[in-house]
Each structure stands twice: as structure tokens, then as C-alpha cells.
Copies of this chain bind each other. A is one copy, B any other.
């Protein structure tokens, strides 16, 4: 079936299918052959639309980042804006946990990352922060979001607690809290975020 009059593929379709496969089968579960399979096409066909697999992954990363809401800065309240951005960002990564390593490694030429950074930076500067301070603040919040999304509490512990329960006496309580992992993750994130905002109480000059 070569050269159908209506193309079988498009950049958007490939990118969206890649995200769906990653969400379902993990980052390691995505290969160009599997992706082509899901699209009913040969692997080589993908290279008519993306030069490399990394470019597909960049497109996926940009798609996910575009879900992040930065509109909270609109009112001019930078605290509200920062909280809304951080929660939105964290929520998006929680919705796509398998994509998180892609976001965390975040190298390369990723347009939508810049758009997000620009919106946050603009929101802080618009509220009176100096550019350098805005950069630092946005960085610290980003660290919290990426860290929280990358290493949730639960991931630190094996499934059978009994193995090491007696070896690390200080962790006994922590293990008992394992079922509560989601709450602990949120608490740690909120603690960091609120402490940061509180620590900026001096506000922009």
C-alpha cells in the first residue's frame, strides 16, 4: 500500500500515539517498530515525519508540558500564580508518570518548555520581582516539582517490607506509613512549596 492518496501518518498522530503507548507500556516499552505497529505501518515510514526517535520523544515532552497551566499569574498575585503553576505542573506529571524521566532530563530544543518558563518568568517579573530573582524562584519551584514527580516516596521501598524491616530501625515507622505514600508525597511537596513562599515573604522590592 504505497503512496495512498490520503497520507496514513502525520506528525501529530505519531506523537499522540507515542504518548499513549508510553502511558500504557512505559518509556522502555516504546520502540519505533511498536509505534509503527500501533499505527498500522512499517517502522521506516516514521522517518518520513521525524528524523529520529529522540525527535518523537521531544514532541511528546512538548505535548505534555503544554498541559501545564500558567494562567494563575494573570491576576498579578505571584503567590497564587506560583502555587497554581506548581500544582498544575505536578498534576500533569502525575498523570503521565512514565513521561516524567523525559521531562526531568529535559535537554534539547524544546519549544514548549521555553513557553512555560517564559510565562512563569513574566508572571514573577510582572509582580515586581527582579529578573534574576524570578529565575531563582522559578528554579526552586521547578526542582520541587521535578523531584516530587521523579521519586515518589513509595518508590524508595521494596514491596516486601519484612526483608529489611529489622535492619534499619529508624525506618520502622516510615514503612508502616507505606500505604499512606500518596499523602506523604503530597505533604512533602506542600511543605517545600509553602516554606519557599513563606521564605519569600519579604516580597519584591
Contacts and interface: CB of A to CB of B under 8 A. Distances in A.
Interface of A: 101, 104-109, 111, 113-115, 117-119, 121-122, 125, 131-132, 135-137, 139-140, 142-148, 150-151, 153, 155-158, 163-164, 167-171, 173-174, 177, 184-185, 187-189, 191-192, 194-196, 198-200
Please give the count of copies of this chain that the complex contains: 2
B106 A155 contact: yes
Interface secondary structure of A, over-half rule: helix
Contacts of A143: 143-144, 146-148, 151, 188-189, 192
A185 B142 CA distance: 11
A27 to B, nearest CB: 10
Contact of A114 (B111, B118, B171): B171
A109 to B, nearest CB: 5
A140 B131 contact: no
Contacts of A122: 169-170
